Amino acid sequence: MVSLLNVARAGEGSEQDSEFRYTLFPYYKIADDLTGFSYLGYVDNPDRDYDSFYFGVGANWQAEPWLQVWGGVIGLYTENEVKSDLLEMRPFLGPKLFLPNDWKWNIYNFTRYEYRATENLDTDDWSGQNRLRSRSGLDVPLTGTANAWGPKTAYLIADVEPYYTFEKGQIDPFRIRAGLGYVVNDRIRVELIYHAEYTRPEGGSLEHTNNIFRLNIKIGFQRGLLKGLLNPDSD
């Protein structure tokens, strides 16, 4: 993302970086229970002197009203000013479970396996990493139940997501997320989200090392598609 905010570094301990992201998620119907998606994104981290460009495709299968299965591949090109440029490919697959309720809240868990294949573009060397990501969260409409998820309504976003890295045998990173979303109409949603990211910079305990500010734009090519997906999110 283009830097919109300047986040002060922590006074003690590890320094906190500022990262800014813009992401665009187009969704399109393939069949009655199958939805395709694309993922386009731009990331700017002025503290670490890199820019990243995301691109990806995948699909979501609505197996049951309370169960979706997501799969796809996300590509990532990172342009570094002081280190080697990187190319990543991240295939992933996993279930997304929803807890039915009478309030029309989206209460869910999205757990997926992800393989990170990374190429150093200076040396052409590849490395691999196996991760299990498990995001538990909720989206809460800021309106009455009758108007929930209708046009020109807002909603709150909150979740936590640990990443378990098999090669390290530990959780790294760990993210806490909060934000505000707005339903523009039955095809477009806009979200502004803050992530607090915890990593292990010295291989020890988790420390707050990164602040991520994110603007999401979600677009359904068919009318009402986003509402039917409950919580459309592949990131």
**Band of pLDDT at residue 146, cut at 50, 70 and 90:** very high
Which residues touch 201 (CB under 8 Å, ≥6 apart)? 14, 207, 209
* Range 183-202 average pLDDT: 94
Cα dihedral sign, 220-223-224-229: negative
Residue 7 lies in a domain: no
In contact, 218 and 230? CB cutoff 8 Å: no
DSSP H or E segment with residue 228:
helix 225-228
| Per-residue pLDDT reduced to its tens digit, 123-132 | 999 999 999 9
224 located within any domain = yes
**Count: domains in the chain:** 1
Mean pLDDT of the chain: 91
Say if 233 falls within a structural domain.
Answer: no
pLDDT tens digits for 208-219? 999 999 999 999
Residue 234 lies in a domain: no
Rounded to whole angstroms, the Cα distance separating 120 from 86 reads 5
Closest by CA position to 163, among listed 118, 109, 211, 199: 199
Instruction: Label residue 63 left, alpha or beta by phi (over 0 means left) and psi (-120 to 50 means alpha).
Output: alpha
Residue 12 confidence (pLDDT)? 43
Whether 100 has a pLDDT exceeding 60, the answer reads: yes
The answer to whether position 119 is within a domain reads yes
Structural domain contains residue 3? no
Please indicate, yes or no, if residue 79 is contained in any of the structural domains: yes
pLDDT at 163 over 80: yes
Per residue in 60-83, pLDDT (tens digit) is 999 999 999 999 999 999 999 989
CATH number at residue 66: 2.40.160.40
Q: Is 225 helix (H, G, I), strand (E, B) or coil?
A: helix
Q: Supply 155's token pair.
A: 């909603």
Split at pLDDT 50, 70, 90, the class of 194 is very high
Sorting pLDDT into bands at 50, 70 and 90, what band is 14?
A: low
Least confident of 29-38, 146-155, 198-207: 198-207
* CA–CA separation, 62 and 186 (whole Å): 19
Q: By the 8 A CB rule, do 29 and 222 touch? A: yes
On whether the CB atoms of residues 91 and 113 are closer than 8 A, the answer is: no
User: Is the C-alpha dihedral spanning 233, 127, 166, 19 positive or negative?
Assistant: negative
Q: How confident is the model at residue 9 (pLDDT cuts 50, 70, 90)?
A: very low
Percentage of the chain lying above the pLDDT 70 cut: 93
Whether 57 maps to a domain, the answer reads yes
Give the three-state DSSP class for 226. helix
Question: What is the extent of the structural domain holding 147?
Answer: 17-228
